[in-house]
Each structure stands twice: as C-alpha cells, then as structure tokens.
Amino acid sequence: MKKVKISFILNFIIVLLVVLGCIFMFTGFKFMSDQTLLEASKIEMFKFYTVDSNILMGIVSFIFVIYDMKLLKNKINSIPIFVYILKLVATSGITLTFLTTLLFLAPQYGFYAMYNNTNLFFHLIVPMLSLISYIIFEKHNNKYKYALLGILPMFIYSIYYTSVVLINLNNNWIKYDFYGFLQGKISNIYIVMPIIYFLSYFISLGLVFLNKINKKI
C-alpha cells in the first residue's frame, strides 16, 4: 500500500499544479517575471500542445486519485486496466512536451524562458512527476500493443496545428507555426509530423519498457 499512497500523493500534486497553471495562464498571472514567450492568456492558451497535454495529464491523474483512494479504503482490489492505459497515453503526451522543450525549444529560446512562470509547471515539474508516478509507482501488466495509443495526443493536436497553418497559407502562415517546427518551409510539414508521430510511439514504448523493468524490482 505504500506505493499506492505515494501514487495518490504524486497524482494529487499533478492535479493541483495543472489547475494552478491553467488559472495562472488564463488570467495572465506571472510569479517569476513578465516574460511571456510561448504563453498566451484566456482561450488562446489552448492553442499550445503544452497546455493541452498538461490538461490531459491533470484529468487522468484526477481519475487515478479517485481509484487510489478506493484502493486505500479497500473499496476495490485493483485499478481497471483502462485507467492504466489512459495514464500511459497521457504520460506519453506530456513526455513529448518535456523532451521537445528540453531538446528543441530551450536551445532556441533559452532555458529560463522555457521554464518561466507557468511553463515551470507545464514544461518541467508536471512532466517529471508524471514520469516518476507512472514508471515507479503505478505497476501493472503492461502490454506493448498499448504503446501505439501513445501517439493519440500528438495525432489529435497535429490535426489542429496543420489545419491552422494550411488554412492561413495566404495569410502570413509562418506566425501560425508558433512552435517553429516547419522552420519557414511549408513542405517540412510532411517530414516533421511523421517524425513526431514516430517519437511519440518510441516514447510510449520506452514508458512501457521502463514500467515493466521496475515491476520486476
């Protein structure tokens, strides 16, 4: 039960940070500096995959909190497999956020800018807590076939992202490539998106593998 208690605590903290992060970003509240790189207030904030993947993580973590509570109160004997699958999907999505920030965005815009204000929660703390909770404290009978579902968060988001870019081809489309994935060349869309799908799948496979390894310890 010790691992269940830790899982409960970690997921509760994730939910709390996601809620606070969304409130801070929606209202434009700054607690570190006035810098607003790759941030937006009000409804516009939902255009970022960072925000969407964190909200998904928050929702799934809330579901986990409920089931962890039931386990701790002996109301159930185990957590349903669909909850673990949801956690895999959400963790895959937010890990992509973490790695994209660390390896692609931060080198371009600066590490302080990418871990400033709400982005400190969304780019670093929530992803790290999510990885720790899934890999170490949420052990179950993982199957590699579920890893393919890890592509879903980015696949769904990519439909929105590419649609906005393509719709605005004659309206300074570059500004709608707000992550700079296409590097000013529209044809890169056919290269970048498949690569991101592959990375999402690779991340999901890695998460299943690490969870399996840890389950044996």
Which one has a higher pLDDT value, 20 or 189?
20
Number of domains in the chain: 1
pLDDT digits (tens, 9 = 90+) for 40-80: 778 888 999 999 999 999 999 999 999 999 999 999 988 99
pLDDT reading at 132 higher than 80: yes
pLDDT > 90 fraction of the chain, expressed in percent and rounded = 60
d(CA 70, CA 152): 28
pLDDT reading at 215 higher than 70: no
pLDDT digits (tens, 9 = 90+) for 168-198: 888 888 877 878 788 778 888 888 889 999 9
d(CA 45, CA 51): 7
Of 139, 16, 141, 132, the closest CA to residue 71 belongs to 139
Domain that holds residue 98: 2-215
Q: What angle do CA 71, 77, 80 make, to 5 degrees?
A: 85
What's the pLDDT score for residue 3?
87
What would you report as the CA-atom Rg of the chain, rounded to the nearest whole angstrom?
Answer: 18
Instruction: Answer whether 14's CB lies under 8 Å from 57's CB.
Output: yes
Among 24-28, 30-34, 90-94, 192-196, the range scoring the smallest mean pLDDT is 30-34
